[in-house]
Amino acid sequence: MKKIVYEVKANYSRWVRLLVNLTLCLTLVIGIQFLLNDVPNSAAVMFGITALNAAILWIILPRKYSIQEDRFKIHLGLSICINIGFENVNSVKKLDSLLTTGLSFAGSLGNRVQIERKRGSSIVISPEDRESFLVMAQGALDNWADRQ
C-alpha cells in the first residue's frame, strides 16, 4: 500500500446539497401522497425510486481526495476509488472557469482543481482546501519526478 501524502474531504456547494436533497425529497413526498390517497403500489414504486436514487448518489459522489506517493485517488462510496497515476498527469492547476471539458467529480463551482492528463480527459475535483491540495499535489508530483 502506498503512503498517503495528503487527504482532504470533497467540497460540496450549498446549491449541490440542495439539489440532491430536493431530488430525494420530491420522490419521497410523491410516495407519501400516493400512500395517503390509498394507492399503495404507486407509493411502493416511489419509495423504491427514492431508495435507488439515494444509493446511486451515495455510490457516485466523491467523499474525499487523496494524494499518494505516485497517484491521486478519488474516493467514492462502497470503497470505490478512481486512481490517476502521476505518469499520466501533465499538470494540476486551479480552475476558476465555469466551462470545462473532461470528467468532473466536483461538487462546487468555486473550489475546483483540474488534473490535466496526458492520455484521456482532464478530471475536475473540488477539495475543501484547494490551496493546500495544490501545494501538496505539486510537491508530490515533483518528488515522484525526481525518483524517476
Q: Round to whole Å and give the CA distance between 32 and 135.
A: 49
pLDDT tens digits, 99-108: 888 899 999 9
pLDDT tens digits, 13-49: 999 999 999 999 999 999 999 999 999 999 999 999 9
- What the block records as the C-alpha cell of 10 is 470533497
**pTM exceeds 0.85 for this model:** yes
Q: Round to whole Å and give the CA distance between 124 and 72.
A: 12
* CATH code for the domain defined by 1-148: 2.30.29.30
Q: Round to whole Å and give the CA distance between 67 and 5.
A: 5
